[in-house]
Chain A
Amino acid sequence: QSALTQPASVSGSPGQSITISCTGTSSDVGAYNYVSWYQQHPGKVPKLMIYDVGNRPSGVSNRFSGSKSGNTASLTISGLQAEDEADYYCSSYTTSGTWVFGGGTKLTVL
């Protein structure tokens, strides 16, 4: 199985909104609504930010939102803050009954 495709990096200024894309195929992202997003600060454990395309766990800021269209899922962060600077990974279930991650996106807050 191939990794999902994410941009290597994105950036934005404080207060702005950014969107990170996660492109898969009809065998993963496009097949199920089981796309998740994780935030990882350097040296830290990944943290679940969005699950099942657009659901936020309790405690996660509502500045984080997720969506999906066809084979591409997206994570949008609004009102960008310095603490949002981190790596972000998407993940999806596949028609093979396995899971796949994206290559990761480094978010820089300018």
Chain B
Amino acid sequence: QLQLQESGPGLVKPSETLSLTCTVSGGSISSSDYYWGWIRQPPGKGLEWIGNIYYTGTSSYNPSLKSRVTISADTSKNQFSLKVSSVTAADTAIYYCARRNYGSGRRDYWGQGTLVTVSS
């Protein structure tokens, strides 16, 4: 059974860089069948797509976040990561990692989510 698990600091200071890792078990991020991505949800608000990465290393990002976001993958550890630079309170959210099928909008496996608070 595929499982995704987010990890990283729960508290980040303003202007610093938020860094999260998603560890995948029960499947390989090197598969050509899937994209691996990040979605966030500010407390009490809706979902926002952050970006995703393909096994080739190709990534795409939400235009509103593109200048501050980097998604990378470490196939040797079967992990992919998210970095958001110059964070503000507006970046406070639950961050989810998820898998999406190639050539489809099927995003059927999600991590449990991790709350990241931006505060001094």
Interface residues of A (CB under 8 A from B): 1, 3, 34-36, 38, 45-46, 48, 51-52, 55, 57, 89, 91-93, 96-104
Q: Once the chains bind, are A45 and B47 in contact (CB under 8 Å)?
A: no
Q: Once the chains bind, are B46 and A34 in contact (CB under 8 Å)?
A: no
Q: Please, which residues of chain B bring their CB within 8 A of the CB of A52?
A: 104-106
7 A–B pairs (Cβ distance < 8 Å), ordered by A? A35-B105, A45-B111, A51-B104, A96-B63, A98-B63, A102-B46, A104-B46
B96: contacting residue among A34, A35, A46, A103, CB under 8 A = A46
Q: Across the two chains, which residue of chain B brings its CB closest to A96?
A: B63
What is the number of residues of chain B that contact chain A, defined by CB distance less than 8 Å?
Answer: 22
The reply on B15 being an interface residue by CB < 8 A is no
B106: contacting residue among A3, A51, A97, A98, CB under 8 A = A51
Q: Please, which residues of chain B bring their CB within 8 A of the CB of A51?
A: 104-108
Interface residues of B (CB under 8 A from A): 39, 46-49, 51-52, 60-64, 96, 104-108, 110-113
Q: Once the chains bind, are B47 and A38 in contact (CB under 8 Å)?
A: yes
Q: Please, which residues of chain B bring their CB within 8 A of the CB of A57?
A: 106, 108
Q: Please, which residues of chain B bring their CB within 8 A of the CB of A34?
A: 104-105
Q: Please, which residues of chain A bring their CB within 8 A of the CB of B64?
A: 1
Q: Please, which residues of chain A bring their CB within 8 A of the CB of B104?
A: 34, 51-52
Interface centre among B61, B64, B105 (most CB of A within 10 A): B105
- Give bound CA distance, A38 to B105, whole Å: 11
